[in-house]
Amino acid sequence: MAASIKVMNKKSFAKQLLFIRRISTTRNLHKGAVIGVYEPKEKGGEIILNKTSSRLNEESNGKLLNILKVAGKELKKGGCRVLYDTIPSYSSVAVCSLGKQGVGFNEAEGFDEAAENVRAAVAAGVRSLRDIGENQIDVDPCGNIEAAAEGGHLALYVYDELKSEDKRKKPVKLSCLGTDSSKQITWNRGVIKAEGQNWARSLMEMPSNFLTPRLFAEAVKNRLNNIQTVKVNVRDKTWIENEKMESFLAVSQGSAEPPVFLHLIYKHPDATIERPLALVGKGVTFDTGGISIKPSSNMDQMRADMGGAACVVGALYAISRLNMPVNVEAFIPLCENMPGGRAIKPGDVVRARNGKTIQIDNTDAEGRLILADALNYAETVKPHLILDMATLTGAIDVALGAGATGVFSTSTHYWSLLEQAGSRTGDRVRRMPLFNHYTKQITKCQLADVNNIGGSRSAGACTAAAFLKEFVTCKNWMHLDIAGVMSNKSEVPYLGEGMAGRPTRTVVEFVEAVGKEKQ
């Protein structure tokens, strides 16, 4: 609602703000609030209060709005101002701009603009309050409780557990401001989805000496074993050999670390689809490129080459915590790609689990080699659909950057559900072609049935997807190339800098949508 206010000149306002800061430092409330406002309808107009900020303005006897007349003049979408001693029950209040009032689905951008504005605004608010030392923060739902919970918890994430204690960020507890118990359920949904993505981010950030294949499996077991609906199976190298996963083993043989295969099972008694949904994740815990070694510059980023595996376990964590009525099984091949004395060499030929031979002309195209066997093994549970995630190609980064995850799908129906899921989470996806044109490039091979790289550098993401398709018979299959969204600089304001854990929340949303379909 818009409201008129008494004008306060800048000099008197500055004196009042200085006095407020002095008073607030003597208090020990350490509780802040994040509240939302809308931009003026026209330039030079009045800031528009939302439901929560309007109520708190009344609690402050109009003080909040009076201060905002000066302090909030240049407040733009996603920005915030921190005010002190304004609302009696809080030591500080972060007033955040939700942009224009009344926005909804943005067709050009492909997402719910109002929800994204909430995430960005709440993120700015909770970070600002954490920076001034608040350890308890009440968050305004801003008209979208789940988005507010996601934005706040995603924004507070930081990987600093290996730093000295005095250099770590202090923990902050977020609560939903002024909601009843029924709305608390929606808040908790957002919290759980953010926790799933944040766990994926932690796994991706972790140095590879702290997250070998074995340690990855242990981390998953420790996190998921206390969820009764989830069963964790850790398979060793002998099991992998017995399954004749020679393509997977070929990648791992250059490393001193043995490979591990993870099989996770989530079963719900009320699942509407009896056959499981299969999630497959690439789990290369460090990728040097092997004999086709990568440049040393930025090679440290390849600790996150297990991003597909991280997003799979993050999604399964959220799915199980939300008790979704679905059956999901996850298949994760874990290994390192190293240039050891036993490493595979360009020109080597291996036989995959499905019997097809593969000519390996580039050992840095290793993700598709381990996924080939994992995808084929996933077929043994007769899944309703298969969705795999992998930081697979630099080509998808060139094509889409951090704007969206590239998706290759054999099903238009399930692609549509995934696209809709991405529009709701703000973590968008974009469909890419699976033309026979690309299949011809990887099946035209001198020594074997297929080649692990296409005949040229062109359309590298498409030829990689075409390669994977050779190892899938399930009619509903989607391959998500997440190399472009692996990390975040400033593209997504509520994620901050570092590994992104994308598109974990979109996959959770998609699985829920599939589970709601009648079979």
What are 428-459's pLDDT values in tens digits?
999 999 999 999 999 999 999 999 998 778 99
Query: Two tokens at 74?
Result: 């240049």
Burial class (CB in 10 A: 0-12, 13-18, 19+), 183: middle
Q: What is the pLDDT of residues 380-392, one digit of tens each?
A: 999 999 999 999 9
- Mean pLDDT of the 133-161 span: 97
Cα–Cα distance for residue pair 168/170, rounded to 1 Å: 6
Identity at 456, one-letter amino acid code: S
Give the separation between CA 431 and CA 413, rounded to whole angstroms.
12
> How far is 388 from 379, CA to CA, in rounded Å?
12
458 DSSP 8-state letter: T
Which alpha helices (DSSP H) does 132-180 contain, by range? 145-156
pLDDT in tens, 350-370: 999 999 999 999 999 999 999
At which residue do the structure tokens 């472009």 appear? Answer: 484
How sure is the predictor about 18, in pLDDT bands with cuts at 50, 70 and 90?
Answer: very low
Contacting residues for 396 by C-beta, under 8 A, at least 6 apart: 406, 432, 460, 461, 481, 483, 484
Angstrom CA distances, 447 to 232, 358, 461, stand at 39, 8, 23
pLDDT per position as a tens digit, 400-409: 999 999 999 9
CB 266 within 8 A of CB 230: yes
How much is the pLDDT for 29? 53
DSSP states of 167-193 as a string?
GSPPP-EEEETT--HHHHHHHHHHHHH
Q: What is the pLDDT of residue 519?
A: 63
Pairing type for strands 385-390 and 477-481 reads parallel
Sign of the dihedral through C-alpha 249, 250, 256, 262 = negative
Phi and psi (nearest 5°) for 506?
Answer: -65, -40
Phi, psi dihedral angles at 479 (to 5 degrees): -110, 125
Tokens encoding 99: 């942009």
Contact criterion met (CB below 8 Å) for 324 and 268: yes
What is the edge-to-edge ordering of all strands in the sheet holding 450-451?
Answer: 348-351, 357-360, 450-451
Q: 497 pLDDT exceeds 80? A: yes
Supply φ then ψ for residue 277, to 5 degrees.
Answer: -90, 125
Higher pLDDT, 130 or 6: 130
Q: Is 96 left (phi over 0), alpha (psi -120 to 50) or beta?
A: beta
Radius of gyration from C-alpha coordinates of the chain: 25
Residues 314 and 307: beta-carbon distance below 8 Å: no
Instruction: Write down the catalytic residue from 214, 244, 294, 431.
Output: 294
DSSP string covering 73-128: TT--TT-EEEEES-STT-SEEEEEE--STT--EETTTTEEHHHHHHHHHHHHHHHH
Q: Quick one: pLDDT at residue 2? A: 36
Residue 42 confidence (pLDDT): 83
Beta partners for residue 277, in sequence order:
328, 385
365-375 pLDDT, tens per residue?
999 999 999 99
Out of 77, 81, 189, 368, the active site residue is: 368
Active site residue 294: yes
pLDDT confidence bin for 74, thresholds 50/70/90: confident
CA-angle at 385, arms to 382 and 386, nearest 5°: 95
CATH 3.40.630.10 domain range(s) in the chain: 193-515
229: nearest Cα among 134, 362, 92, 322: 322
Q: Which of 185, 148, 130 is nearest to 36 (CA)?
A: 148
Q: For 300-323, what is the mean pLDDT?
A: 98
d(CA 106, CA 322): 28
State yes or no: pLDDT of 8 exceeds 50.
no
How many residues does this entry show for the chain?
519
One-letter amino acid at 184 equals: Q
List beta partners, residue 84.
Answer: 92
CATH 3.40.220.10 residue window(s) in the chain:
10-179
Q: In the predicted model, is pLDDT for residue 212 greater than 60?
A: yes
Alpha carbons 211 and 499: distance in angstroms, whole number: 15
What's the DSSP call for residue 294? P
Percent of the chain predicted with pLDDT > 90:
87
Q: What is the pLDDT of residue 10?
A: 44
User: What is the pLDDT, as a whole number, of residue 15?
Assistant: 45
CATH class of the structural domain 10-179: alpha beta
pLDDT recorded at residue 24: 44
pLDDT band at 179 (very low <50, low <70, confident <90, very high): low
Fold of 193-515: Aminopeptidase (3.40.630)
Rounded mean pLDDT, 322-340: 98
CA distance 145 to 120: 13
pLDDT value for 75: 87
Helix, coil or strand: residue 37: strand
